[in-house]
Structure 1
Amino acid sequence: MLNLKGFITATLTLMCSSAALFSPLAKAQQPPQGYLYGVGVGVNQEIYRGYKRRTIPLPLIGYRGEKLSVYGPFVSYQLLQHNNLTLNAKLAPRFAGFDDSDSDVFIGMAKRKNSLDGGLGVQFRQQNWVIEADTLVDLLGNSKGQESKLSVGYGWRFGPVQLEPKVGISYSDSKLVDYYYGVRQSEASANRMAYRAGSAFNYNAGFSLSNPLFGGMTRLGVEHHWYDNSISDSPLTDRDRGFSAFISWSTFF
């Protein structure tokens, strides 16, 4: 079983020591501040049997200030900044639930609810590199689980266009994984055996693209996900990888 405290400590140590790998460059341009609005949509290729994709429309009403950032349902508040290292408090929705109308494989199962996660995130920036580590817990007590993420990205700018490839790894504890991919004894059937899922390491790679269009900022993100055996071995799933994509447009009032 992973020692989560040790994982987080090692992550923070890695991020702090990363500064020695890069020489300083000019400071990043400060983003504009104020109230913003826009629209967005996310599409996730689900790995559940018979559930092809999840589409999430998001009206975006938000605010970007010196410390507070609100982008639709995603909220971040800067708690501490030292040189290129920033500590943030975060809120983020978890769109991962299902009910028996989503697929035949869920018939006879209790509903799994979407949730709201909260926790801390650390970000380190140096030159064009961005290293981020987050640990979030289920604030609504649906899964009672938690997830930790580590990602590394590198940004290129081509005129007004910003491109950032990124790779990452996440650790989900057994409570989180079992809630969304486990099958309780009371839910077992002839076509769906009982299954208790353990913790999972998942991996992802993708890119984001930003471009000022139509008087605002358009963002596109695409990721490929590889899932741990504790997820792909579930009787609810039929593959071990999938894609997700997000596109949004926003502008300041």
Structure 2
Amino acid sequence: MRIFNTLFSLSALTLSAVSFTAHAGNMEDNAEQEKPIDERGDNRARLEPKGFLYGFGLGLSGEIYEGYDRRVIPLPILGYRGDNFEVLGPFASYDAYSANDVDFMLKLAPRFQGFDDGDSDIFIGMDERDFSMDAGFGIGYERNNWKTDISAMFDIFAKSKGHEISAKVGKVMRYGPVFFEPNAQVSYVDEKHVDYYYGVRSHEVTDNRAAYQGSSAVNYSVGFSVSTPILFDGFTMLALDYTWYDDSITDSPLVDQDTNFNLRLLYSAFF
């Protein structure tokens, strides 16, 4: 399960990098040719790169579960970008509708979250919490290099039977061929999600592990990424993010931290 969580983080980063690669390329082209970009800031009238991409990622991921170690995981990457469709393994998104500054997207993404009793001593005697698949929709807004995304994702494999609603805002800034993006995100997960991944059922109670029923939670994250399209004829990104977890999660007897830190390095290029 440690590997699954890092794969999730790296793969999600790669999907965003596919879009950002085109965005960065458009901004650079406009600067070199001294042509004004459109009001939206990414000049979508210009041709964006499409096709298959490849690369690799490296992640250092923290966990808030007790005894769940930090892991360093390498990850090969293979994906595809079309006119309205992007896919990377089990991750996929489709731009169903666009109007002015707003995109309406359909999304599919695995939720590689959970544990088994081999991940930490705190889980011994507990039922395994499985990864699942989420599907949902998102609304994206971009203008003058500000990017906002609101999404709602639902567990379609009915493992937790829960859902997550999140909102993220970031701003892309350019210094020569290097791009910087600070961002902030807030996410709401319902009580079914929290109870499945952080709750302790009655038959799982021990002297060191009390029963616990989770309630809905609101988590907050801040992040910062540095990226460039000039190294090795591809796209390179280093991303950091820090998350604060709601009390309804950190009060769980399975959890011994209320924050975590993640670092991800990505390189990708089109074939």
Structure 1 and Structure 2 fold alike (TM over 0.5): yes
Q: Find out whether 1:235 has 2:253 as its counterpart.
A: yes
Give the alignment partner of residue 243 of structure 2, picking from 206, 225, 244.
Answer: 225
The 1-side partners of 2:240 and 2:126 are apart by 31
1:181–1:56 distance in 2 versus 1, CA, 3 Å: farther
Once the two structures are superposed, what CA deviation does each residue of 1:172-213 show, in whole Å capped at 9, x if it has no partner? 001111111000001000000000000000000011222121
Give the alignment partner of residue 24 of structure 1, picking from 35, 39, 49.
Answer: 39
Task: Give the aligned residue type for 1:179.
Answer: Y
Q: Find out whether 1:127 has 2:144 as its counterpart.
A: yes
Paired position in structure 2 for 1:17 = none
1:110–1:25 distance in 2 versus 1, CA, 3 Å: closer
3-state DSSP of counterpart to 1:214: helix
Question: Which structure 1 residue ranges, 4+ long, deviate > 3 Å from structure 2?
Answer: 23-31, 54-58
The 2-side partners of 1:26 and 1:197 are apart by 42
Paired position in structure 1 for 2:266 = 248
Provide the TM-score with structure 1 as the length reference: 0.87
The 1-side partners of 2:103 and 2:145 are apart by 16
| Aligned-pair CA distance for 1:55 | 4.7
| Aligned-pair CA distance for 1:248 | 1.5
Describe how 1:1-253 pairs up with structure 2 within 5 A: 24=39, 26-28=41-43, 30=46, 31-212=48-229, 213-253=231-271
Provide the TM-score with structure 2 as the length reference: 0.81
1:241–1:27 distance in 2 versus 1, CA, 3 Å: closer
Once the two structures are superposed, what CA deviation does each residue of 1:33-59 show, in whole Å capped at 9, x if it has no partner? 111111123332100001122555432
1:37–1:194 distance in 2 versus 1, CA, 3 Å: same
The 1-side partners of 2:110 and 2:59 are apart by 13
Range moving further from structure 2, 70-79 or 167-176: 70-79
| Aligned-pair CA distance for 1:95 | 2.1
Paired position in structure 1 for 2:21 = none
Contact 1:78-1:88 within 8 A present in 2 as well: yes
Task: Give the aligned residue type for 2:172.
Answer: G
Paired position in structure 1 for 2:19 = none
| Aligned-pair CA distance for 1:167 | 0.5
The two structures, once aligned, show a CA RMSD in angstroms of 1.7
3-state DSSP of counterpart to 2:179: strand
Contact 1:46-1:54 within 8 A present in 2 as well: no
1:149–1:25 distance in 2 versus 1, CA, 3 Å: closer
Identity in percent: 48
Task: Give the aligned residue type for 2:162.
Answer: G
Paired position in structure 2 for 1:19 = none
Task: Give the aligned residue type for 1:197.
Answer: G
> Larger % of strand: which?
1
Which consecutive residues of structure 2, in runs of 5 or more, have no partner in the other structure? 1-37
The 1-side partners of 2:156 and 2:228 are apart by 34
Which consecutive residues of structure 1, in runs of 5 or more, have no partner in the other structure? 1-22
Contact 2:91-2:108 within 8 A present in 1 as well: yes
Range moving further from structure 2, 229-238 or 57-66: 57-66
